[in-house]
């Protein structure tokens, strides 16, 4: 029953914990390292180690039972959805080295609670434009069920993440310029607290002034304050019509100014994505497309069919004024394929270089500073000799940079780290943020302190109040070991 490494790293304590979990949740506990490894990390480049156990939850009661068992044993827990994060927010961290031998345990002293089995759509009410779902439901599963009712759920990144994980990281994605982030599209939550109690926040009303806004306290908390198990979501009507245009420009500045001007004059952008020349080249090679290799915008307009011609004409006038090099109107039948090409930007970047890995990061700045921030970052990339394509949600001032680094090249990684720090400082100097949507995780904790030096102590106080034993996703967000 016990693999040798579990015994070596955890001994009687690990065996006792797993026995207790099996009694509470029979048949839903994994403990061998070969099984727990797949659940012990996200897609980031950050370090991890196999968890001592994984609980595959199917209900809120399962999550609460697992948390209570782990709390009794003093063992931390990490909630995990699909593992698509990019800052190590769901990583089981390696243990501390033995002070005498210097040996680092090969297993992380943590239990991962896998929420993917919580995949039920509990309720849909198109008349009130809301729905309640379990945390493991994916957006790709939700919208086909909503479509016959004429509504959709709009928030979320390009990857097929779980709804609960999207709320935990306050995800946004390409639709945020029109519809907002997860924070604007969640009305209420069910949350399992650090002691195993279950709390329900918010509700179905469109507004409320009843007490503290607990819903938005948990949204973006990355599982450090509680584990989100159910969500009540705001739904929006499916638009009558859409247009998608791909436009090439002589510079990033010109492309960014187009979107800035559209927002100033009220062009109703549904999506506005910017890709630099390096990223377009990567996409062409990876997805077998033939876009012009220049600074490029993917712009979608949506709404009533009768209004789109006027909106598109205003967009064209603004693009012409900025020297548009080429514009391509995408046939409606190809819209989803083209958006998938955009969503594949990260694997496309990595495919540029064999035997490599990606370090993907993001910042967000006020729109007026976006062009300068990207341009100065591009100059840094050229000076460093690194390969680092850029793509961004230009309508929000948010852009992503993907370092494509050679495996095992520490010098290259150090150059990337220096460029990364300059990019963060630059964004903060413009009044921006160290992350628009990737979250803090384990990778940006020092950046959070730089951004909010007076706010982090307040965050730590909230963490102490709700998780006094530090058992929820330790070593992330506001690491209490730094206190």
Short-list 320, 314, 319, CA closest to 298: 319
- pLDDT at 98 (0 to 100): 65
pLDDT at 67: 98
Give 109-168 pLDDT, tens digit per residue.
Answer: 999 999 999 999 999 999 999 999 999 999 899 999 999 999 999 998 888 999 999 999
pLDDT at residue 464 is higher than 90: yes
The pLDDT, as a whole number, for residue 1 is 38
Evaluated on CA atoms 448, 81, 287, 387, the torsion sign reads positive
Q: What is the pLDDT of residues 367-389, one digit of tens each?
A: 999 999 999 999 999 999 999 99
Quick count: other Cβ atoms within 10 Å of Cβ 276? Answer: 27
Residue 12 pLDDT more than 90?
no
Query: What confidence tier does 84 reach under pLDDT thresholds 50, 70, 90?
Result: very high
Distance CA(87)–CA(473), nearest Å, equals 13
pLDDT band per the 50, 70, 90 thresholds, residue 480: low
Enter the pTM of the model. 0.93
Q: How many CA atoms lie within 13 A of 13 on its CB side?
A: 12
Residue 461 pLDDT > 70:
yes
Bridging pattern class, strands 77-80 and 108-114: parallel
Q: What is the pLDDT of residue 4?
A: 46
Of all residues in the chain, the percent with pLDDT exceeding 90 is 91
CB atoms within 10 A of CB 72: 11
Confidence of residue 97 (pLDDT cuts 50, 70, 90): low
pLDDT at 14: 86
- pLDDT of 104 reads 66
Query: 252-294, pLDDT tens digit by residue?
Result: 999 999 999 999 999 999 999 999 999 999 999 999 999 999 9
245: region left, alpha or beta (phi > 0 left; psi from -120 to 50 alpha) = beta
In this structure, the number of other CB atoms found within 10 A of the CB of residue 329 comes to 11
Confidence label for 2 from pLDDT (cuts 50, 70 and 90): very low
Q: What is the mean pLDDT of residues 64-76?
A: 97
Residues contacting residue 260 through CB under 8 Å, at least 6 positions apart: 367, 368, 370, 371
Q: Average pLDDT in the 204-215 region?
A: 94
CA distance 231 to 382: 44
The per-residue pLDDT for 282 is: 97
Q: Is the pLDDT of residue 483 over 70?
A: no
Q: Buried (b) or exposed (e) across 452-466, using 16+ Cβ within 10 A?
A: eeeebeebbeebeeb
The SS3 call for residue 249 is strand
Spacing of C-alpha 72 from chain mean position? 31
Burial of 217 (0-12, 13-18, 19+ CB in 10 A): middle
């Amino acid at each position: 029953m016990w693999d040798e490494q579990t015994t070596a790293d955890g001994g009687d304590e690990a065996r006792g914990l797993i026995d207790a979990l099996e009694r509470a949740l029979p048949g839903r506990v994994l403990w061998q390292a070969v099984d727990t490894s797949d659940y012990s990390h996200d897609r980031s480049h950050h370090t991890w180690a196999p968890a001592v156990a994984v609980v595959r939850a199917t209900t809120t009661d399962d999550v609460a039972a697992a948390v209570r068992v782990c709390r009794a044993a003093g063992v931390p827990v990490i909630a995990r959805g699909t593992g698509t994060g990019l800052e190590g927010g769901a990583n089981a961290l390696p243990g501390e080295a033995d002070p005498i031998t210097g040996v680092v345990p090969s297993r992380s002293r943590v239990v991962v609670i896998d929420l993917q089995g919580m995949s039920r759509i509990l309720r849909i009410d198109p008349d009130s434009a809301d729905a309640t779902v379990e945390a493991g439901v994916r957006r790709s599963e939700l919208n086909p069920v909503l479509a016959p009712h004429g509504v959709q759920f709009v928030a979320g990144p390009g990857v097929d993440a779980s709804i609960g994980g999207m709320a935990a990281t306050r995800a946004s994605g390409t639709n945020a310029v029109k519809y907002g982030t997860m924070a604007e599209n969640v009305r209420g939550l069910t949350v399992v607290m650090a002691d195993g109690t279950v709390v329900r926040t918010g509700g179905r009303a469109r507004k409320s002034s009843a007490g503290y806004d607990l819903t938005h306290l948990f949204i973006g908390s990355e599982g450090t304050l509680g584990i989100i198990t159910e969500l009540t979501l705001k739904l929006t009507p499916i638009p009558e019509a859409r247009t998608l245009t791909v436009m090439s420009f002589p510079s990033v500045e010109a492309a960014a100014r187009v979107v800035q001007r559209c927002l100033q004059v009220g062009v109703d952008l549904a999506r506005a994505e910017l890709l630099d020349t390096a990223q377009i080249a990567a996409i062409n090679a990876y997805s077998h497309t033939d876009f012009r290799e220049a600074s490029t915008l993917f712009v979608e307009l949506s709404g009533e069919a009768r209004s789109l011609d006027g909106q598109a004409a205003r967009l064209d006038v603004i693009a012409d004024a900025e020297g548009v090099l080429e514009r391509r109107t995408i046939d409606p039948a190809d819209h989803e394929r083209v958006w998938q090409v955009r969503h594949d930007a990260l694997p496309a970047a990595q495919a540029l270089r064999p035997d490599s890995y990606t370090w993907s990061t993001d910042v967000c700045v006020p729109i007026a500073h976006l062009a300068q921030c990207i341009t100065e970052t591009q100059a840094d990339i050229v000076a460093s000799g690194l390969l680092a394509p850029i793509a961004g949600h230009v309508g929000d001032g948010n852009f992503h940079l993907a370092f494509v680094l050679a495996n095992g090249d520490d010098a290259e990684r150090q150059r990337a780290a220096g460029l990364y720090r300059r990019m963060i400082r630059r964004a903060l100097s413009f009044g921006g943020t160290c992350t628009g949507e990737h979250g803090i995780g384990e990778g940006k904790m020092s950046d959070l302190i730089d951004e909010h030096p007076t706010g982090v102590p307040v965050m730590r106080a909230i963490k102490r109040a709700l998780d006094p034993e530090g058992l929820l996703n330790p070593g992330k967000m506001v690491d209490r070991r730094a206190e």
